[in-house]
Amino acid sequence: MRDYEEILAEIYQGLQDSGQDRASLTEDTELVGDLGLDSVQVMEMLLEVEDRFNISIPVNILADVVTVRDLARQIQRLTGD
């Protein structure tokens, strides 16, 4: 299983690459509520994260993801398989 902090850093990087301001991002940042991202935008952002950890993130998990923390935890779970 990957280190949570490492996954978090990759998510921040992905969000930054897609135009978000790094300074305003925290684990509590809501992907839809705060950043206004739709599911397609989140999946696009995750393509690099998937390559980095050699995983496929099912679109289905987004149903349970509200915050950056939720996303990091889901990805951590997937890397543990």
Residues that bind other proteins (CB under 8 A): 36, 38, 40-41, 43-44, 47, 54-60
Closest separation in Å from C-beta 9 to other proteins: 22
Closest separation in Å from C-beta 6 to other proteins: 19
Specify which residues 30 forms β-bridges with: 67
Where do the H-state alpha helices sit in the chain? 4-17, 39-53, 68-79
Query: Rounded to an integer, what distance in angstroms lies between the CA atom of residue 78 and that of residue 74?
Result: 6
5 vs 63, which CB is nearer to other proteins? 63
23 vs 63, which CB is nearer to other proteins? 63
In contact, 10 and 18? CB cutoff 8 Å: no
